[in-house]
């Protein structure tokens, strides 16, 4: 005959193993075996509609034009196309002065996605480059030729001014281009920053904020396995701080990354509530673990509210007759 003590110990160990398994076993059960609750939360996450966005790492848009256009759309800023003329004394002198000026580069980056394009010089040619994308480009402020070659399609349908350099503001959605005053590139970083700031009603999110958001989401996807589950939760919390700066698509992307965490959180809370029916202390420990691991995330907040509901309160005659009514739903 199994003693009550042995039965309680067996239940504790089995539930503790179960809560570990819900995190430790990695992927959730497949869709055929998932509960309706977990299926519902994953469907609501926007997994079917959100894109797997990733940020470019270079400064100039030409390094990865598709990612640059996506960044401009998400930040709601234009592509700022800077055009210089190859082997032209004016362009060369200007580039050495301004494209090595961190303040000027920051002004471009603050108000848009910077792009650099080079047009043929007096000889009618553009400097030669190798196929190696890591080659050294003779243009000042340009690490390799791909950084400006990739922006060449932006020149289509543009009337190239005689006086270069020149900056064009290009709408990433429509491709509509608007030239900014021709003297502005020569007036320095402060004048450029002031002019561009006056053309927007609100301050857009910065490139750094955009890249940080995507980096945290990427890490959360990477850490979704059981061994780094808590790390992944922390990355999601870090990413969540930036969501208010962006539109619905970025929120959908975050929800997509959060889906496996949500499913595991639901499972762990369910196991904890089951444990509460027979062992209030074990159930409270399991909820505490969920609240800690998923702090500042929806399931972590849910676990915290359940813990608060377990706090001792004055007993009534009804609660003495029916102790199960004090177990939170």
CB 272 within 8 A of CB 12: no
Q: What is the CA radius of gyration of the chain?
A: 28
Structural domains in the chain, sorted by start: 35-55+205-311+323-329 (no CATH), 77-197 (3.40.30)
C-alpha–C-alpha distance, residues 236 and 319, integer Å: 40
Token couple for 130: 């190798």
C-alpha–C-alpha distance, residues 214 and 242, integer Å: 10
Token couple for 324: 């199960």
186-204 burial, b if ≥16 CB within 10 A, otherwise e?
Answer: eeebebbbebbeeeeeeeb
Cβ atoms within 10 Å, residue 228: 15
**291's torsion region: left (phi>0), alpha (psi -120 to 50) or beta?**
alpha
User: Would you say the C-alpha torsion 190, 192, 195, 200 has a positive or negative sign?
Assistant: negative
Q: Kindly list the averaged pLDDT for each block of 10 residues, start to end, along the chain of length 329.
A: 42 40 36 37 39 72 91 96 93 93 95 94 77 68 86 92 94 94 94 92 92 95 87 96 95 96 95 93 94 96 94 56 56
Cβ atoms within 10 Å, residue 4: 7
CB 305 within 8 A of CB 291: no
C-alpha–C-alpha distance, residues 122 and 261, integer Å: 60
Please, which residues have CB within 8 angstroms of residue 11's CB and are 6 or more apart in sequence? 275, 278, 279, 282
Residue (of 288, 314, 313) closest to 302 by Cα position:
288
Q: DSSP H helical segments within the chain, as ranges? A: 4-24, 36-44, 65-75, 89-98, 102-111, 146-149, 189-197, 207-222, 229-240, 248-276, 280-293, 298-309, 317-321
> Angle at CA 152, nearest 5°, toward 146 and 155?
155
Length reported for the chain: 329
Token couple for 113: 């996605």
Token couple for 10: 């067996």
CB 217 within 8 A of CB 257: yes
CB 78 within 8 A of CB 169: yes
Determine the pLDDT at residue 329.
62
CB 299 within 8 A of CB 47: no
Determine the pLDDT at residue 313.
57
C-alpha–C-alpha distance, residues 74 and 246, integer Å: 7
Determine the pLDDT at residue 138.
84
The reported pTM is 0.75
């Amino acid at each position: 005959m199994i003693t009550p003590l042995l039965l309680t110990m067996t239940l504790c160990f089995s539930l503790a193993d179960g809560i570990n398994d819900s995190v430790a076993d990695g992927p959730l059960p497949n869709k055929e075996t998932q509960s309706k609750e977990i299926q519902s939360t994953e469907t609501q996450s926007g997994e079917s509609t959100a894109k797997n966005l990733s940020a470019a790492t270079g400064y100039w848009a030409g390094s990865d034009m598709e990612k640059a256009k996506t960044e401009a759309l998400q930040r709601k800023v234009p592509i700022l196309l800077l055009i210089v003329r190859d082997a032209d004394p004016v362009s060369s002198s200007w580039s050495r002065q301004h494209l090595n000026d961190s303040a000027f580069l920051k002004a471009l980056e603050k108000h848009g996605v910077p792009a650099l394009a080079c047009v043929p010089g007096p000889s009618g040619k553009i400097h030669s480059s190798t196929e190696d994308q890591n080659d050294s480009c003779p243009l000042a402020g340009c690490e390799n030729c791909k950084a400006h070659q990739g922006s060449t399609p932006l020149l289509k349908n543009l009337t190239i001014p005689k006086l270069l350099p020149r900056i064009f503001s290009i709408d990433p959605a429509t491709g509509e281009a608007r030239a900014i005053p021709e003297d502005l590139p020569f007036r320095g970083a402060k004048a450029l920053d002031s002019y561009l700031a006056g053309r927007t009603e609100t301050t857009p999110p910065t490139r750094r904020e955009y890249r940080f958001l995507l980096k945290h989401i990427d890490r959360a996807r990477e850490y979704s396995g059981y061994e780094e589950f808590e790390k992944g939760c922390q990355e999601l919390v870090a990413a969540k701080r930036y969501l208010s700066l962006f539109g619905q698509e970025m929120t959908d992307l975050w929800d997509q990354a959060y889906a496996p965490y949500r499913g595991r959180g639901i499972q762990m809370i369910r196991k904890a509530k089951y444990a509460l029916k027979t062992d209030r202390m074990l159930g409270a420990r399991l909820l505490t673990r969920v609240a800690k691991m998923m702090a500042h995330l929806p399931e972590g907040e849910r676990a915290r509210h359940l813990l608060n509901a377990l706090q001792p309160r004055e007993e009534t005659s009804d609660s003495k007759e029916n102790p199960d009514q004090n177990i939170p739903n």
